[in-house]
Amino acid sequence: MKEKMGPGNSGQIMAPPRRMSLAPNTYNTYIDASIGNIITDHQYNNGMQFQPSGCHVEIGKGISNAKVESEQIIRATMFAMNNVESLHVHDNSSIIIVIPEYMTSIDGTALGWRHLKQCHVVRCPKLHTVFTPNYDRIYPFEEIETFWASDLLNVHCIWNKGRTFSGTDNTSFAKLKSIHLYSCPRLTFVLPLLMGIQGSYLSNLGSLHIVKCGDLKVVFPVHPDLKEDVLGFPRLKHIHLYELYKLQHICGVKMHAPKLERVWLRGCWGLRRLPSVSLDRGPIVDCEKDWWEKLEWDGLEVGHHPSLFKPRHSSHYKKSLPRGSVLW
């Protein structure tokens, strides 16, 4: 018997009766969507049932994406994820990636997360990679605006390199405004800037906030064939970096941030460069005095000189120990 449900209330996480998922018994995904046309029958359990409107997907405790072999389930999952606008992944102790790569394409159709705007990922201890974007067929993450993650104990990267192509992509990540990362101790990089996406380079990124990611070496690594010596971040205003002990670079090449307003850093002793800025901007740099004195500069003519910044030093900064000091 087929049973239709009435319209859902906005602002709630909705699901068919009995918590049926897009992938029965394997992937219990709940969708906040216009569900007037959802039919609760296993014969009709496919992605085309859903007509997302402000779609929200939540992946939580007890959910597993292992051993999904059904093409019907893969198609349904791809359809839902290609229409989701908000994604919340939390408290899951089994997944190592949000959607496995083998579930991101089938018969020429690819998962591009094309409507995703907000993503929140927390407390998933086995997660190794959050997303695998593939640029060879589509332009992924065209709408994403905010990414927020915390307490991911084993995550190695947020976006890995995926598959690339030789063309130009001006839309992937073009709307990304903020990245917030907290307590991801094994994170080594966040988002590679690839030769295949020349021209985008996070043109709307305004805020970068990373705290207690001790293994992070570079936030935005670049493709080795990238020809640009300097990449522009035209709307970047705020940089907040705390206890990133292995950080060497924010970006794999030099950065230019003409609208930079404030930089706040503590415990980033391996970082030696700030972005270049506009000559009349005067961004505040709140940092340890010892760190500021060791920065490397390219010169006033390229907007990269200490006189263009306003340093502010904490009253409790690391002081050099006198010779012969004994550490207890």
Tens of pLDDT, residue by residue over 73-82, are 888 888 999 9
| Domain residue limits, the chain | 17-313
Q: Is the model's pLDDT at 52 over the cut of 60?
A: no
User: E strands within 140-232?
Assistant: 146-150, 157-159, 178-182, 207-211, 218-220, 230-232
Tokens for 177?
């405004």
Integer Cα distance of 218 and 208 in angstroms? 13
User: E strands within 18-133?
Assistant: 30-34, 51-59, 86-90, 105-106, 109-110, 118-122, 129-131
Burial of 311 (0-12, 13-18, 19+ CB in 10 A): middle
Q: Would you state the pLDDT for residue 229?
A: 82
- Min mean pLDDT across 20-34, 48-62, 77-91, 100-114 is at 20-34
Integer Cα distance of 259 and 233 in angstroms? 9
Task: Tell me what the mean pLDDT of segment 171-196 comes to.
Answer: 91
Task: Tell me what the mean pLDDT of segment 70-99 comes to.
Answer: 92
- Min mean pLDDT across 143-157, 160-174, 229-243 is at 160-174
Task: Tell me what the mean pLDDT of segment 5-31 comes to.
Answer: 37
Higher pLDDT, 51 or 164: 164
Task: Tell me what the mean pLDDT of segment 47-64 comes to.
Answer: 68
Higher pLDDT, 95 or 62: 95
Distances (CA, A) of 141 to 184, 203, 248, 308: 22, 14, 27, 35
pLDDT bin (cut points 50, 70, 90) of residue 171 is confident
Cβ atoms of 96 and 128 within 8 Å: the answer is yes
Q: Is the model's pLDDT at 37 over the cut of 70?
A: no
Q: Is the model's pLDDT at 130 over the cut of 90?
A: yes
Higher pLDDT, 281 or 236: 236
Q: Is the model's pLDDT at 96 over the cut of 60?
A: yes
Tens of pLDDT, residue by residue over 254-278, are 999 999 999 999 999 999 999 999 9
Percent of the chain with pLDDT over 90: 55
Cβ atoms of 261 and 291 within 8 Å: the answer is no
pLDDT bin (cut points 50, 70, 90) of residue 21 is very low
Tokens for 190?
């966040």
Percent of the chain with pLDDT over 70: 72
Closest CA to 270 of 302, 241, 299, 228: 241
Integer Cα distance of 32 and 17 in angstroms? 13
Integer Cα distance of 174 and 42 in angstroms? 39
Q: Is the model's pLDDT at 29 over the cut of 70?
A: no
SS3 of residue 193 by DSSP: strand
Integer Cα distance of 161 and 228 in angstroms? 19
SS3 of residue 18 by DSSP: helix
pLDDT bin (cut points 50, 70, 90) of residue 71 is confident
pLDDT bin (cut points 50, 70, 90) of residue 317 is very low
Distances (CA, A) of 254 to 68, 169, 246, 250, 257: 43, 21, 18, 9, 10
Instruction: Report which secondary-structure segment, H or E, holds 264.
Output: strand 262-266
Domain made up of 17-313: CATH architecture = Alpha-Beta Horseshoe (3.80)
Cβ atoms of 158 and 191 within 8 Å: the answer is yes
pLDDT bin (cut points 50, 70, 90) of residue 47 is very low
Query: Running DSSP on this structure, what letter comes out for residue 75?
Result: H
The maximal CA–CA distance of the chain, rounded, in angstroms, is 84
Integer Cα distance of 5 and 59 in angstroms? 22
Integer Cα distance of 141 and 202 in angstroms? 11
Q: Would you state the pLDDT for residue 34?
A: 32
Q: Would you state the pLDDT for residue 308?
A: 98
Integer Cα distance of 113 and 201 in angstroms? 18
Count Cβ atoms below 10 Å from residue 323 Cβ, excluding itself: 5
Tokens for 161?
């390199």
Among all chains, which residue has been given the structure tokens 């690819």? 110
Tens of pLDDT, residue by residue over 208-241, are 999 999 999 999 998 777 767 888 999 999 999 9
Q: Is the model's pLDDT at 285 over the cut of 80?
A: yes
- Min mean pLDDT across 15-24, 90-99, 256-265 is at 15-24
Q: Is the model's pLDDT at 39 over the cut of 80?
A: no
Residue-averaged pLDDT of the chain: 80
